[in-house]
Amino acid sequence: MVENSNLSLEERVEQLRKAKIGESKGPKIQGVAHHLRERKHWAEHCSPKLISLGPIHHGHPNLQLGERYKQTWAAAYIHTTGQSPESLHARISIFIEDLTCLFDASLFANNDEFRNYQRQGFGSVEEKICWTMFVDGCALLHVLENPHIRFEDVPRDVLLLDNQLPFLLLKLLWRNADDGDLIRTMESFLHRHVWPVADADEARLGFDYSDPAHLLDL
């Protein structure tokens, strides 16, 4: 935007004040940049092979088998919590506006699965988003707690930038109120699939954690 050179000092200060108020509270989850995704041989390294998590690849025809697995894993996780699906879903419903704001808005607006929510029996796009977050979040927590899962594509898919889910979502669905327990579960998964254990432990000595944005933000 071109700056108006006729503004007074007071008006310029007011512009700065409003810009500060409108400042983003944190990074939003978004996909790999298009200029990278469109490079030859690059797209296959950006896209999931079995499961989608979140809105970016949700509903892709090649991932329908993964949708069935996610349902199974979500049900398994919920069973281990000793809580009802309804109570866990209600937590997401209460915070759905906050959760949606953690994603780039275009991710939902540009996905036909969310635009055509009524065809899937949902009364609003918020209901569709809420259900998707609920199932995906529970499925991811099951995978994080079971890093030896037999599908070799699953750890790869979980670690894709396009498949990240907000930490707030996992926190709301976690089996207890111990955020540290959740963080340790996430770290354990990363230890197995990404981090050299000794190096990771050394790097974290004395480090004061704030909540990560998502798994890859640890």
- Could you read off the pLDDT of 97-126 as tens digits, one per residue? 999 999 999 999 999 999 999 999 999 999
Is residue 23 in some structural domain? no
Confidence at residue 1, expressed as pLDDT on a 0 to 100 scale: 44
What total number of domains does the chain contain?
Answer: 1
Is residue 54 in some structural domain? yes
Tokens of 208: 């004061």
Is residue 53 in some structural domain? yes
Going by the DSSP 8-state scheme, the letter that residue 200 receives in this structure is: H
Neighbouring C-beta atoms of residue 108, cutoff 10 Å: 22
Is residue 21 in some structural domain? no
Alpha-carbon gap, residue 187 to 194, rounded angstroms = 10
Strand, helix or coil for residue 29:
strand
- Residue range 121-140: mean pLDDT, rounded: 97
Taken in order 127, 129, 135, 138, is the CA torsion positive or negative? negative
Q: Of 12-21, 41-50, 89-98, which gets the smallest average pLDDT?
A: 12-21
**DSSP bridge pairs for 29:** 103
Is residue 2 in some structural domain? no
Give the residue among 139, 138, 117, 136 at the shortest CA–CA distance from 128.
Answer: 117
Supply the range of the domain harboring residue 128. 47-217
Give the residue among 150, 135, 165 at the shortest CA–CA distance from 74.
Answer: 135
Is residue 25 in some structural domain? no
Is residue 40 in some structural domain? no
Alpha-carbon gap, residue 54 to 135, rounded angstroms = 10
Going by the DSSP 8-state scheme, the letter that residue 55 receives in this structure is: S
* pLDDT above 60: residue 208: no
Give the residue among 116, 131, 112 at the shortest CA–CA distance from 70.
Answer: 131
Alpha-carbon gap, residue 149 to 131, rounded angstroms = 24
Confidence at residue 206, expressed as pLDDT on a 0 to 100 scale: 43
> Which of the pair, 130 or 213, is modelled with greater confidence?
130
pLDDT digits (tens, 9 = 90+) for 49-102: 999 999 999 999 999 999 999 999 999 999 999 999 999 999 999 999 999 999
Is residue 4 in some structural domain? no
For the chain, counts of helices (H) and of strands (E):
12, 0
